Amino acid sequence: MKILVVGSGGREHALAWKLKKSPRAPKIFCAPGNAGLAKIATCVSIPAEDIAGLLNFARSSRIDLTVVGPEAPLTQGIVDAFMAAGLDIFGPLASGAAIEGSKVLAKEIMAKYNIPTASYAVFNEPVKAQKYILSSSAPWVVKADGLAAGKGVIVCHTEEQALQAVQTILVDKAFGEAGEQIVIEEYLTGEEASILAFTDGEEVIPMLAAQDHKPAYDNDTGPNTGGMGAYAPAPVCTPEIFQEVKEKILLPTVQALAGEGRPYRGVLYAGLMITARGPMVLEYNVRFGDPEAQPLLMLLKTDLLDIIEAVLTKRLAQINIRWFDGAAITVVLASGGYPGAYQKGKIITGLEQAPEGIEVFHAGTAFKNSHLVTAGGRVLGVTAAAENIALAISKVYAGIKPIHFEGMHYRRDIGRRAILPKT
Ligand code: AMP
Ligand code: GLY
- Residue spans of the domains in the chain: they are 2-91, 125-180, 191-318, 327-418
Q: Does position 423 have pLDDT exceeding 60, yes or no?
A: no
Strand pairing report for 89-90 and 65-68: parallel
pLDDT at res. 420: 79
pLDDT at res. 355: 80
SS3 194: strand
pLDDT at res. 421: 66
Q: How much is the CA Rg of the chain, to the nearest whole Å?
A: 21
Residue 155 CB–ligand 1 contact under 6 Å:
yes
Portion of the chain with pLDDT greater than 90, in percent: 94
pLDDT in tens, 109-129: 999 999 999 999 999 999 999
Q: How remote is the CA of residue 19 from the centroid of ligand 1, in Å?
A: 32
Distance separating alpha carbons of residues 29 and 43, to the nearest angstrom:
6
Per-residue pLDDT band for 236 (boundaries 50, 70, 90) equals very high
User: How many other CB atoms are found less than 10 A from the CB of residue 411?
Assistant: 23
Which pTM does this prediction carry? 0.96
CB 104 within 8 A of CB 145: yes
pLDDT at res. 281: 98
Per-residue pLDDT band for 148 (boundaries 50, 70, 90) equals confident
Q: Which atom of ligand 1 is nearest to the CA of 103?
A: 3
Q: What CATH class is the domain 125-180?
A: alpha beta
pLDDT in tens, 4-57: 999 999 999 999 999 999 999 999 999 999 999 999 999 999 999 999 999 999
Residue 141 CB–ligand 1 contact under 6 Å:
yes
CATH topology of domain 191-318: D-amino Acid Aminotransferase; Chain A, domain 1 (3.30.470)
Specify the CATH number for 327-418; select among 3.40.1350.10, 3.40.50.300, 3.90.600.10, 3.40.50.720. Answer: 3.90.600.10
Q: Does position 291 have pLDDT exceeding 60, yes or no?
A: yes
Helices (H) and strands (E) in the chain, counts: 15, 22
Q: Which atom of ligand 1 is nearest to the CA of 185?
A: 19
Query: Residue whose CA is closest, atom 8 of ligand 1?
Result: 153
Residue 149 CB–ligand 1 contact under 6 Å:
no
Ligand nearest to the CA of 285: 2
pLDDT in tens, 375-416: 999 999 999 999 999 999 999 999 999 999 999 999 999 999
Q: How remote is the CA of residue 229 from the centroid of ligand 2, in Å?
A: 10
Average pLDDT value for the chain: 96
Per-residue pLDDT band for 422 (boundaries 50, 70, 90) equals low
Residue 390 CB–ligand 1 contact under 6 Å:
no
Task: Give the pLDDT mean for 285-313.
Answer: 98
Q: The domain 2-91: what is its CATH number?
A: 3.40.50.20
Half-sphere exposure of 128 (CA within 13 A, CB side): 9
Q: How remote is the CA of residue 389 from the centroid of ligand 1, in Å?
A: 25
In the chain, the amino acid numbered 134 is L
Task: Give the pLDDT mean for 66-74.
Answer: 97
